[in-house]
Amino acid sequence: MSNLLIPKDYHAALDLKQTELAIKQIKDFFLRSFSTELRLRRVTAPLFVLRGLGLNDDLNGIERPVSFPIKDMNESMAEVVHSLAKWKRVTLAEYQVEPGYGIITDMNAIRADEELDNLHSLYVDQWDWERTMTAEQRNVDFLKQIVRRIYGTILRTEFYICETYPQLHPFLPEEIHFIHSEELAQMYPDKTAKEREDLICQKYGAVFIIGIGGKLSNGEPHDNRAPDYDDWSTPNSDGFIGLNGDLLIWYPILERSIELSSMGIRVDKDALLHQLELQGKSDRKELYFHRRLLEGSLPLCIGGGIGQSRLCMILLHKAHVGETQSSIWPDDMRKQCKELGMTLI
């Protein structure tokens, strides 16, 4: 059970019935509020896509997609999506979504290689969103503006659910702090990336780390990113590289940082070519998605994902994501969680 974090004196604030009701209330409220805030239209998303189109997200590049042959299509292979980062961009083009507007959808995925713990599950559910933008908006100031609006929506949802259930008390700070991953590495040069995240989140409560994917001065990226959705290599006005990042909060129940969203300004033609070359994947230029981007038929955009069960987990003061979603867990983890008062759905 080395992957299980055991909180001190944990007691669930809501029972199972209250939890199920509160999950729906959070999801309904957040979706309405977030869609209104960023002018996002709901669309229907796929659970799987065809292999070989370049539409599936490679995440860190090592995860294996769940796949299966399609009997009625000459055994063509389909892959369960890892995320919808590239599919959403194609959808913006097909729906002809104008700048300043976007789309949002419920993304469901299976990540068979995930290491199971308090925060990570085989089942992924998140709000995937994408918003068309102009060339003038491809800068770090616009990225920060969108992040503040997302964080403001999270704060409104926290207020709403704490008003609905008085046994819950707000803990998120009013403001979110911005820092570049290079600054963070220089601030804590002897720490790992995860340790740096914990330290900066404990200090500020809510942090957006800019620049995830590009190599830092220590020769390592803060974390890995695929080369073909987020722009992590373009210089920005802060004097660093990267127009993407992660939104994290400090979670006192588990005494650690928790990522709620990964997002960013997406690659344009130049950034795509550069990042493919950096990662030795220039052969992807021939795939359907990449050809469309390079020929200019896909819009400039910004987008990301926000974990639904994870957001519910922290707003309901739960200690395990399995308390806010139904998934498969090892028998010994399920047994130990029950003994600790963490009732896994």
Closest by Cα among 106, 156, 151 to 129: 106
Q: What letter does residue 212 receive in the DSSP assignment? A: -
Q: What is the pLDDT of residue 1?
A: 47
Domains of the chain and any CATH numbers: 16-172+262-339 (3.30.930.10)
pLDDT tens column, 11-44: 999 999 999 999 999 999 999 999 999 999 999 9
In this prediction, residue 114 carries a pLDDT of: 84
Q: Which residues pair with 241 in a beta bridge?
A: 235
Give the residue numbers annotated as catalytic, written as ranges: 57, 111, 126, 246, 259, 262
**CA-angle at 110, arms to 104 and 116, nearest 5°:** 115
Residue pLDDT, tens place only, 70-111: 988 888 888 888 778 899 999 999 999 999 999 999 999 888
According to the model, what pLDDT value does residue 55 have? 73
Which residues contact residue 29 at a Cβ distance below 8 angstroms, ignoring those fewer than 6 apart? 156, 157, 160, 161
pTM score of the predicted model:
0.93
Distances (CA, A) of 176 to 206, 261, 341: 5, 13, 32
Sheet holding 256-265, edge to edge: 40-42, 102-110, 123-132, 301-307, 256-265, 244-251, 206-210, 177-180
73-111 b/e with 16+ CB inside 10 Å = b?
eeeeebbbbbbbbbbbbbbbeeeebeeeebbbbbbbbbb
Question: CB atoms < 10 A from the CB of 255, how many?
Answer: 12
The 3-state DSSP class for residue 249 equals strand
**pLDDT at residue number 39:** 98
Residues in the chain predicted with pLDDT less than 70, given as ranges, are 1-2, 57-63
How high is the pLDDT of residue 62?
A: 56
d(C-alpha 98, C-alpha 133), whole Å: 8
Cβ neighbours of residue 74 closer than 8 Å, sequence gap 6 or more:
none
